[in-house]
Amino acid sequence: MAMEGALKYALNSREIKKFLLEWGATLVGFGDVSQGLAGELRHLPVAISLAIRHPSPGRNLIHTPRGPVYSNRYQQVDSKLEQMQKRLVSLLKSRGYRCLAIPPDSHRHDTRFVARLYPLFPHKTAATCAGLGWIGKNGLLVNETWGPRLSWATVLTNAPLEVCTTPYVSGRCGRCRRCVEACPAGAIADREWVQDEGLVPHIDVEACRRQLERNRLLVGEDICGLCILACPRGMYDQAGTIKRKGDVRWPG
């Protein structure tokens, strides 16, 4: 027991962050998510939130006669996040802690018993509590540096890690309404997210779904993504000019 205690002491947030950045994460944060956790997860009050930035759109951006459509599904990025989660889970378990990895695409069909727990905890909760981003008017996690062009994953744990003391509790979109204007379905309301109202963004989900179906007839996939393409966060420097090619998160 003394050895286990010593090992537990040795593992801290800084050390975990260093590992995850070395393994390829773009962002890593730690949040206290004990408030409002589902009963099944209450024994895991700390969320480790990690994200990888998206590559340039490439084939995920399709030009159509009606304008571009974009898919933010990057299978390779998701696979890399899952590999990092596996390594992190091994590390935490080797130190005697309990943990649960919520995969990037937590809504995909998964028949495993553990998958029933995934919908109980959204990545948005982890990232906002970890101070890594807010929920934009477009309903996506928006990071100050990278905008909404990130894929996210979460590991919940009972390790007593140092957590963020400045979580996001409201949106930072301000007067920006680019996604509101870009949405062809008129599905995005010009309303800022507030944590007290929960994680539900002000999106007309049905209108968005109908647009995705229309696009499926057009390009063969139920994608749209114009609210991601439109977001200026992460694309401009402090002087308001677009970052140099290479520094631009995309489009470049």
Report residue 120: phi and psi, to 5°.
-75, -15
Quote the distance between the C-alpha of residue 98 and its chain's center: 22
Say whether residue 176 binds ligand SF4 (CB under 6 A): yes
Taking the complex as a whole, the smallest distance from the CB of residue 183 to ligand SF4 amounts, in Å, to 3
Say whether residue 137 binds ligand SF4 (CB under 6 A): yes
Taking the complex as a whole, the smallest distance from the CB of residue 235 to ligand SF4 amounts, in Å, to 10
Taking the complex as a whole, the smallest distance from the CB of residue 16 to ligand SF4 amounts, in Å, to 29
Q: Residue 188: is it exposed, middle or buried by C-beta count within 10 angstroms (0-12/13-18/19+)?
A: buried
Reading the block at residue 58, the tokens are 């490439």
By beta-carbon proximity to ligand SF4, the closer residue of 109 and 175 is 175
Q: Which stretch binds ligand SF4 (CB under 6 A): 5-13, 23-31, 51-59, 221-229?
A: 221-229
Q: How many residues bind ligand SF4 (CB under 6 A)?
A: 25
Say whether residue 179 binds ligand SF4 (CB under 6 A): yes
Taking the complex as a whole, the smallest distance from the CB of residue 61 to ligand SF4 amounts, in Å, to 14
Paired residues of 31 in beta bridges: 47
Hunting for tokens 């007839």 — which residue is that?
217
Taking the complex as a whole, the smallest distance from the CB of residue 57 to ligand SF4 amounts, in Å, to 14
Say whether residue 231 binds ligand SF4 (CB under 6 A): yes
Choose which of 44, 225, 234, 249 interacts with ligand SF4 (CB under 6 A): 225
Paired residues of 249 in beta bridges: none
Choose which of 101, 130, 164, 183 interacts with ligand SF4 (CB under 6 A): 183
- DSSP codes, 99-142: EEEE-TTTTS---SGGGGGGGGS-HHHHHHHTTS-EE-TTSSEE
Cβ-closest residue to ligand SF4?
A: 136
Query: Which DSSP category does 244 fall into?
Result: P
142: CB partners within 8 A, 6+ apart: 133, 134, 135, 136, 148, 171, 172, 173, 231, 233
Choose which of 51, 142, 155, 156 interacts with ligand SF4 (CB under 6 A): 142
Taking the complex as a whole, the smallest distance from the CB of residue 200 to ligand SF4 amounts, in Å, to 14
Q: Which stretch binds ligand SF4 (CB under 6 A): 12-20, 87-95, 117-125, 184-192?
A: 184-192
Say whether residue 44 binds ligand SF4 (CB under 6 A): no
Q: Residue 131: is it exposed, middle or buried by C-beta count within 10 angstroms (0-12/13-18/19+)?
A: middle
Q: Which stretch binds ligand SF4 (CB under 6 A): 1-9, 73-81, 88-96, 223-231?
A: 223-231
Query: Which DSSP category does 243 fall into?
Result: P
Say whether residue 127 binds ligand SF4 (CB under 6 A): no
Neighbours of 146 (CB within 10 A): 21
Q: What angle do CA 59, 233, 123 make, to 5 degrees?
A: 75
Binding site for ligand SF4 (CB under 6 A): 136-138, 142, 173, 176-179, 182-185, 187-188, 203, 208, 211, 224-227, 230-231, 233
